[in-house]
Amino acid sequence: MPHNEIGGSMPRNYSPLTLKQLFLTSGHYCAFPECTSAIVHFTDSGPVVLGEIAHIEGSSDDGPRPNPSLSSSSRDGYGNLVILCAHHHNLVDKIDSAYPVEALQEWKRDAEQATAEKLSIGATSVSFAELQIVCNAFADGDIDLPSTPMIAVPPQEKMDANGLTEAIRPTMTIGLAQAPQAADFIRRQAQLSSRFPARIRAGFVQEYDRLHSKGRVGDELFLSLLDFGANSAVSPQTDLSRMFVIRAAAAAVLCHLFEVCDVFEPPA
């Protein structure tokens, strides 16, 4: 996601992982209480970012809510950022005395909690219809891979081996809970097309290698794969509640592959 598409006209040193974490936990809405402005609009050519990144503590020593003791990395780190619509971003910075640090921190916590709850609710509605759309995205792979046994590895061991942190655990927990349903869907599809599991693995390897070649590792790589599966299933007609169902389905497929596929680094 290009930096110049978010956060106003001044580019910041936001890492790709920070951006992914912000939008993953935003719930697609402005964090200002009771604001219903969407921060992402989906089009036929992909998602368009409408929201802006606001600093909880000032982006500079002379800006709104300044904290001169804050390091530059902390200023632009996930914990000091929240996504707002353009109107409310302008409001909280223009009248910063009315919107102290503690208020913005509370909005951020509320947005994170609401997003986790929506994803949990979405997971209960995942059906074969959503799994098929997500699997079809991964099944587009066209590389020929040797057959390998798909043996489940304890998730925590594999998380440690691949540098995955507690930041993605809520998504991982939801995905692993639904992973058996994804595995069942793939088994059923294999009865209709014996190459279906191999095609999914090939597509997964292809996207994994593409992202890895760009330097994506750890949480950033995992979230990029999640975006790949989820965004492929979203259209301009998809309402926001269904987006959480689709994202839960993408997490289920990804976590199933994470458990059994030899693409992610195995534990030592």
Q: For 40-61, what is each residue's pLDDT tens digit? A: 888 887 788 999 999 999 988 8
Q: What is the pLDDT of residue 202?
A: 85
Question: With bands split at pLDDT 50, 70 and 90, how would you rate the model's confidence at 149?
Answer: low
Tell whether the model's pLDDT for residue 235 goes beyond 80. no
> For the chain, what are the domain ranges?
3-119, 124-260
Q: What is the pLDDT of residue 9?
A: 38
Closest CA to 207 of 265, 146, 139: 139
The position carrying tokens 């996930």 is 78
Residues near 172 by Cβ (< 8 Å), separated by ≥ 6?
155, 159, 164, 251, 255
pTM, full prediction: 0.81
Q: For 151-189, what is each residue's pLDDT tens digit? A: 667 888 889 989 999 988 989 999 999 999 999 999 999
Tell whether the model's pLDDT for residue 96 goes beyond 90. yes
